[in-house]
């Protein structure tokens, strides 16, 4: 994000190297058949790290995503996200600070800020990141 607008994006499906659970497929819409021909994390790690290097990441529920990414980076001996990123802004934490006691899911925040999330039928990183730009901008305008 630059000046409150979406910046460059990086989107890459990855082979999880194991079958996808029914629950995960229901949430994300990706089957093992769709993912098994995709590159493994080790194959794209350098491209991904070059993309995020020096950036401040805006992530909803950053603890989960950063933990997951750090685990993958450890497997490929690339350190951790803090070695590459300037920082992380967690919009879940920000929403809980700015709107105490109110729902803070991405869907709830889109609804609260009248952000059109009708294109979000599944939990997908690309659409979620586009919605998150709008949520973040709305949150930062709150006192």
Output the CA torsion 2→122→39→44 (10° steps): 20
Out of 11, 28, 60, 123, the active site residue is 123
Helix (H) or strand (E) holding 110: helix 106-112
Active site residue 123: yes
| Residue corresponding to tokens 């059109």 | 116
**DSSP structural state of residue 18:** S
Contacts of 111 (CB under 8 A, 6+ apart): 117
Residues with a known catalytic role: 123
């Amino acid at each position: 994000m630059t000046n409150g607008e979406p910046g460059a994006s990086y989107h890459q499906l990855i082979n999880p190297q194991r079958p996808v659970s029914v629950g995960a497929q229901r949430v994300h819409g990706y089957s093992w058949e769709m993912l098994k021909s995709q590159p493994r994390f080790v194959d794209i790690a350098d491209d991904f790290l070059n993309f995020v290097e020096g950036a401040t990441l805006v992530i909803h529920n950053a603890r989960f995503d950063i933990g997951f990414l750090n685990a993958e980076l450890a497997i490929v001996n690339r350190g951790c996200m803090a070695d590459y990123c300037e920082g992380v802004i967690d919009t879940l934490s920000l929403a809980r600070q700015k709107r105490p006691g109110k729902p803070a899911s991405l869907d709830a925040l889109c609804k609260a800020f009248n952000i059109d999330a009708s294109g979000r039928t599944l939990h997908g990183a690309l659409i979620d990141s586009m919605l998150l730009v709008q949520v973040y901008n709305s949150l930062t305008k709150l006192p």
